[in-house]
Amino acid sequence: DTEVTQTPKHLVMGMTNKKSLKCEQHMGHRAMYWYKQKAKKPPELMFVYSYEKLSINESVPSRFSPECPNSSLLNLHLHALQPEDSALYLCASSQDRGRASYNSPLHFGNGTRLTVT
């Protein structure tokens, strides 16, 4: 079982809907990440939060809005998405983003499979 929990597992939404993806970890990690993954492709980094502050936004369209309410929770708010945004959205955490990652590798959740119709 993964220690990073993502809900929901599957989500189907229309282009005018507003929905949110949720991620939770209780490992005391201080860095949390959102990745987008298309089928048979590597994860693409979207956002990084470090100590609850947004530290990286990889030029993601504003229809994706991240939020980190506290050190254990990470949300991704979705609004007016396009069909090409359909993908697996992965949340990950690491102990500390400031240190070399071999001291704090990524722990991934099992993702939310998003379909935009």
Partner 1 sequence: TQLLEQSPQFLSIQEGENLTVYCNSSSVFSSLQWYRQEPGEGPVLLVTVVTGGEVKKLKRLTFQFGDARKDSSLHITAAQPGDTGLYLCAGEGLETSGSRLTFGEGTQLTVNP
Return residues touching partner 1 (CB under 8 A): 2, 4, 40-43, 45, 50, 55-56, 90, 92, 97-102, 105-111
By beta-carbon proximity to partner 1, the closer residue of 87 and 92 is 92
8 or 105, CB closer to partner 1? 105
Helices (H), ranges, the chain:
none
* Residue 94 CB burial class (10 angstroms; 0-12, 13-18, ≥19): buried
Q: Which is nearer to partner 1, 55 or 82 (CB)?
A: 55
> Which DSSP symbol is given to 99?
S
